[in-house]
A = this chain, B = another copy of it.
C-alpha cells in the first residue's frame, strides 16, 4: 500500500518562521515526542482489546457489501433522498456530498447517472421543514427517507420521522411505507430498532462501539454517499491508508500524531481557537464536520480518572478566499490566541481561465491569462504569509486533488488525531456528558413524564426573562 497522499505542512507554526514567543521550538517538538509515542502505543494496544472501533471501519468488507447492496436495492427510480438525522448523523453526510458531488447537484436535478437530489434535514426549523415537504410534494412517490438515529429517541429526528411517516401513509398508503423508508440504527436494540422489527422497514446498522461523530465511514455516512454516486470503496481505501500511517510509532512520519502534538502544544500555550480555513468550496463542510469531532470529543471538565479539569479548544470554520474579506483583519491584529489550519488543493478538478479581452484597464491587466485556481492558491499563500508576518501559527493540509481517496484520508486523519489528542489531554474523547441536561430540560418543557424535577429551574428562568429586557 502506498503512503498517504495528504501532506501536513507545519513549518509556519515553528519559531524559525514566527518567532519564539508564538512559534514552537524544534526542541519543544522533540521533547513532546516520547509522550505522544506512549499514547500511540496505548491506543494500538487498546485497539487489539476492542476499543477505538471506528478504526476498524475502513477494513470492514461486510459493512461495505451491505451498504452497496442497500444502494442497489433503493437507487432505481429514486429522485430525492432525504436524510433525517442530526449531529453525527448529518454532518458527515453533508461533508461527503459537498466534497464529492458537483456543486449545485440538487439544482441539476436527480438523474439516474448522478443519483437523487440529497436533502439532509438536520434541524426541526418549522419553516425549513414545511418548505421542504411542499417542495417534495408531487415527487413524494420518488422520494426515499433515510432515518438515522442510534437509539431512535433523538427528539429532532423522532419528530421528523413521525411527520414523514404519517405524510407517506396519507399520500401513498400504509403499504408504501416500506418502499420509502430506510432506517439506520442500532442493530440490536432501541426504539427505532423496535419500530423496524414491527413495521418491516429496510435497515442498516449503526456499528456497535462507534459514536455518532466517528461514524461517517459506516452505513451512517456511506448509504447517502453511495446513493449519490460517490465511490465509497475508495473512500474506505483512503481511510485505510491513513489508518496505517496513524498507527506508526514514529511521530515524525505519522501525520495524525504530528497534528495532535502540534495542536496540543499550542493549546497548552493558550492558543485555544482553531480556525480551519479551506481554500476550496468542496472542502468547506469537512471543516464543519471537524468542528463537531474536535469540540465534542475534547471539550471536557473531567479527566479519565474523573478528576476535574477544564479543557477544550474552540474549532472555528472559515472559508478562503471569502473570509479574507471578513475575518483576516481580526486574525492578524486581534489577540494571538488562534492556530490556523489551511486546507489547500494542488490541482482542482476543473479550472476557469481569466480571458484576455479588449478594454481591460491597466489595473486589472495582471489577471489576464491566469486562472481562478491559480488566483485562489495565490491568495492562500499570501494570506498565510501575512499571518506569519503577524506571528500567527499556520498549518496546511494539502490535498493533491479532492477525490474519494483523499477525503477518506482526511476523515481518518482527524479521527485518529482526536483520539491521540484525547490521550495527551487525558480525557475520554468518546463521551458527551454535558449534553444530557439540555435533553432533560427539553423533555420537561415538552411535558414528557418523569422530568418534573426540572420545573423549578425553568420557572426561575422564565421569571428572569421579563425582568431584564430592552
A172 at the interface (CB under 8 A from B): no
Q: Is the interface of A mostly helix, strand, loop or mixed?
A: helix
**Among candidates B17, B158, B438, B461, residue contacting A324 with C-beta atoms closer than 8 Å:** B438
CA distance A373 to B11 in the complex (A): 49
Q: Is the beta-carbon distance between A123 and B321 smaller than 8 angstroms? A: yes
* A17 and B375 in contact, given A91-B326, A357-B166, A458-B385 (Cβ under 8 angstroms): no
Q: Which residue of B lies closest to A212 (CB)?
A: B325
Render A1-36 as a binary contact track against B, CB cut-off 8 A, 1 for contact: 000000111111010110000000000000000000
Q: Which residues does chain B contribute within 8 Å of A446, judged by CB atoms?
A: 366-367, 370, 374-375, 378
Query: Nearest 5 pairs between A and B by C-beta?
Result: A87-B325, A312-B334, A299-B330, A382-B441, A11-B464
Number of interface residues of A (CB under 8 A): 156
Q: Which residue of B lies closest to A162 (CB)?
A: B354
Q: Is the beta-carbon distance between A156 and B321 smaller than 8 angstroms? A: yes
CA distance A376 to B432 in the complex (A): 21
A35 CB to nearest B CB, Å: 17
CA distance A312 to B332 in the complex (A): 10
Q: Which of A279, A291, A396 has the most CB of B within 10 A?
A: A291
A220 CB to nearest B CB, Å: 13
A49 at the interface (CB under 8 A from B): no
Within 8 A of B (CB), among A183-204: 191, 194-195, 198-199
User: Can you identify 18 A-B contacts, CB atoms within 8 angstroms?
Assistant: A10-B470, A107-B107, A123-B322, A123-B376, A124-B376, A125-B279, A130-B350, A131-B350, A159-B354, A159-B367, A163-B372, A165-B357, A166-B357, A292-B326, A295-B329, A301-B334, A375-B446, A385-B438
A415 at the interface (CB under 8 A from B): no
Q: How many copies does the complex hold?
A: 2
Q: Is the beta-carbon distance between A461 and B333 smaller than 8 angstroms? A: no
* A311 and B334 in contact, given A329-B432, A389-B437, A446-B375 (Cβ under 8 angstroms): yes
Q: Is the beta-carbon distance between B355 and A166 smaller than 8 angstroms? A: yes
CA distance A351 to B163 in the complex (A): 12
A138 at the interface (CB under 8 A from B): no
Within 8 A of B (CB), among A127-148: 127-133, 135
A157 CB to nearest B CB, Å: 10
**Among candidates B12, B390, B457, B461, residue contacting A434 with C-beta atoms closer than 8 Å:** B390
CA distance A440 to B107 in the complex (A): 37
Q: Which residue of B lies closest to A457 (CB)?
A: B385
Render A50-81 as a binary contact track against B, CB cut-off 8 A, 1 for contact: 00000000000000000000000000000000
- Stretch from A98-106, A221-229, A232-240 contacting the other chain: A98-106
* A335 and B357 in contact, given A127-B281, A375-B155, A385-B458 (Cβ under 8 angstroms): no
Q: Is the beta-carbon distance between A104 and B131 smaller than 8 angstroms? A: yes
* A332 and B381 in contact, given A108-B135, A124-B372 (Cβ under 8 angstroms): no
Q: Is the beta-carbon distance between B470 and A254 smaller than 8 angstroms? A: yes
A396 CB to nearest B CB, Å: 8
CA distance A364 to B158 in the complex (A): 7
A153 at the interface (CB under 8 A from B): yes
Q: Which residues does chain B contribute within 8 Å of A48, judged by CB atoms?
A: none
A393 CB to nearest B CB, Å: 12
Q: Is the beta-carbon distance between A88 and B325 smaller than 8 angstroms? A: yes
Q: Is the beta-carbon distance between B379 and A330 smaller than 8 angstroms? A: no
**Among candidates B7, B87, B349, B378, residue contacting A470 with C-beta atoms closer than 8 Å:** B7
A122 at the interface (CB under 8 A from B): yes
**Among candidates B126, B153, B445, residue contacting A364 with C-beta atoms closer than 8 Å:** B153
* A163 and B352 in contact, given A108-B135, A335-B310, A372-B124 (Cβ under 8 angstroms): yes
